Amino acid sequence: MKLNSLKTLNYLLLIVITINVNAQTGNENTSDKSNISRPNVLFITVDDLKPMLGCYGSDYMVTPNIDKLASKGAIFTNAHCQQAVCGPSRASLLTGMRPDYTKVWDLKTQMRAINPDIMTIPQYFKENGYTTVGMGKIYDYRCVDKQGDAPSWSIPYNESTSLTYPEAYGAPALSFYASEESKNIEKKLREETKEAGENLWYYIAKRYKPSVESADYPDEAYKDGQVCNNAIKYMQELSKKEEPFFLAVGFARPHLPFSAPKKYWDLYERDDIELAEYPKAVKNGVDFAYHNSGELMSYTDIPELTDFSDIFTDNLPEDKQKELIHGYQACVSFIDAQVGKLLDGLKEQGLDENTIIVLWGDHGWHLGDHALWCKHTNFEQATRAPLIITTPDSKKVAYSQPVEFIDIFPTLCELSNLQIPQQLQGNSLVPGMNYPKVKIKDYAVSQFPREEIMGYSLRTDRYRMTVWMDKNYRTTLPFNEALIAGIELYDYKKDPLETKNFSGLKKYKAVQAKMMGYFKSFVKKNNKSY
């Protein structure tokens, strides 16, 4: 048979790989096969982690443990979240459903208030004989119940998240700041709050909320150090059980504030830090693609903006920009050390030989590019995040085709010999873990709202097109071209920094038409599934 296109070859390879995978699992993939030995799952989430890691090409980063993990399995170099903010991203990833289905587009909507019967990854594993336990930040606490989504856990979440700090240090001030100075300031402000009769958190945060902290204290004096210790304790307990476990460990750093032990700050030289290469607005861009970095501006050591246009000025001094980048780097290395402890704990308990490990960041993070800080956009630096998956017998693979976080749910099911729930909107990534040249999907989709406008961003292996739709449009509705409020088109081969919007240019007419075709077919497909 003569193959007349690379697409045909990719399709045939995908069929072959899928047949091989099915053959290896008995081609049954059902949840009632009691004779199958099921692997454990260590599910590691890192808040605000962009792919600024050694294994992703950032050779200046000190991340030996995550790099080592990546060397033993699949690293997805073109992975994208569904929405670049904690609550919606985590709700989508943990249910395998897009934000337009979960209807979690903000940080106040609880996913089960809208979808009471929605299925989550840990819940599904629990219902299939796993002991599930979560600690740290798994879901965004504002988007689930007070039990961290009670249906997800075999062991109550509030029980597993109880932390015990060393007596010599005590708990960090405001959960983040370990230094004695910070604790003294917090104590003083607490006393003032009682006299003023105001809300404790808001009163203190308006007066003392630094964006960075470097204290010469051990890891255990910080919350993430305690989360790691808890996880290792549960590993020891779970290793004694007959049933497999699903252990979810959520680290808070490198989310703001950038507070980490001094030894991790000492890994980097401030003078060597480079500022964002393109801290400007996109040429021929779309105004509502931007924000005013409000999350960063809530910290008390950051200069206030007097006008939205200030984001493209020198409002944030270079020395402060370098300090923030330095703090982000330190926090990443701090978390890398905790990941190393988790991996050592697995090995010490003899669990490494039967445990799938997934490590992911819930979205990317802007560090001054486009004059932006934090996330909350459809730009590459916000939607792209690390995704690493290893199995006991996996080999190093770098998969560069686009994938999405909704793909994690079906992937874990297939790797664990569980039937893949039919409602999931993602695809299993197992074929790509076995053969990196197989194309699993043509594009990844992210989205982000701006009041009544929703931007849908499609990322292929080379291009990104963001279509901004007006009048509260959602992909639950038929596509309506009259509602297009703006279009962005980026070519990462010619313009990796997104300096220019190519939408509307004659040279990119065919590319834009193809991308728009993708978007229309995506909407049509989702109309059927919602």
List, for residues 239-293, the tens digit of each pLDDT value. 999 999 999 999 999 999 999 999 999 999 999 999 999 999 999 999 999 999 9
Q: What is the pLDDT of residue 274?
A: 96
Half-sphere exposure (Cβ direction) of 289: Cα atoms closer than 13 Å = 27
Q: How confident is the model at residue 37 (pLDDT cuts 50, 70, 90)?
A: confident
Instruction: Tell me: pLDDT of 88 over 90.
Output: yes
Question: Strands, E, within 168-292: which ranges?
Answer: 212-215, 245-251, 258-261
Q: What is the pLDDT of residue 2?
A: 37
Q: What is the mean pLDDT of the chain?
A: 92
pLDDT tens digits, 429-442: 999 999 999 999 99
Task: Give the DSSP H or E segment for 373.
Answer: strand 373-374
pLDDT tens digits, 139-186: 999 999 999 999 999 999 987 788 889 899 999 999 999 999 999 999
Question: Strands, E, within 3-106: which ranges?
Answer: 40-46, 74-76, 79-80
- For the entire predicted model, the pTM comes to 0.92
> Among candidates 481, 277, 447, which has minimal Cα distance to 376?
447
Q: How confident is the model at residue 24 (pLDDT cuts 50, 70, 90)?
A: very low
3-state secondary structure of 405: helix
pLDDT tens digits, 183-235: 999 999 999 988 777 888 889 999 999 999 999 999 999 999 999 999 999 99
Q: What is the pLDDT of residue 201?
A: 85
b/e map 157-193, b = 16+ CB within 10 Å: beebbeeebeeebeebbbebbbbeebbebbeebeeeb
b/e map 208-247, b = 16+ CB within 10 Å: bbbbbbbbebebbbbbbbbbbbbbbebbeebeeeeebbbb
pLDDT tens digits, 111-131: 999 999 999 999 999 999 999
Q: What is the pLDDT of residue 161?
A: 81
Task: Give the DSSP H or E segment for 388.
Answer: strand 387-390
Which residues touch 254 (CB under 8 Å, ≥6 apart)? 46, 47, 48, 49, 327, 328, 331, 332, 335, 365
Give me the sign of the Cα torsion angle 117, 123, 124, 127.
Answer: negative
Q: How confident is the model at residue 343 (pLDDT cuts 50, 70, 90)?
A: very high
d(CA 465, CA 1): 36
Question: What is the end-to-end Cα distance of the chain in Å, rounded?
Answer: 40
Instruction: Tell me: pLDDT of 17 over 80.
Output: no
**Which alpha helices (DSSP H) does 258-317 contain, by range?**
262-265, 294-297
Q: Could you tell me how far CA 232 lies from the centroid of its own chain? A: 23
Say how many residues make up the chain.
Answer: 530
- Least-confidence region, from 311-315, 360-364, 480-484, 518-522: 311-315
Cβ-contact 305, 292 below 8 angstroms = yes
Q: What is the pLDDT of residue 493?
A: 98
Q: What is the pLDDT of residue 195?
A: 79
Q: What is the pLDDT of residue 286?
A: 96
Instruction: Tell me: pLDDT of 15 over 60.
Output: no
d(CA 407, CA 401): 13
Instruction: Tell me: pLDDT of 329 over 50.
Output: yes
Q: What is the pLDDT of residue 485?
A: 98
Q: What is the pLDDT of residue 148?
A: 96
Question: Strands, E, within 272-354: which ranges?
Answer: none
Cβ-contact 168, 180 below 8 angstroms = no
Q: What is the pLDDT of residue 309?
A: 55
Cβ-contact 102, 88 below 8 angstroms = yes
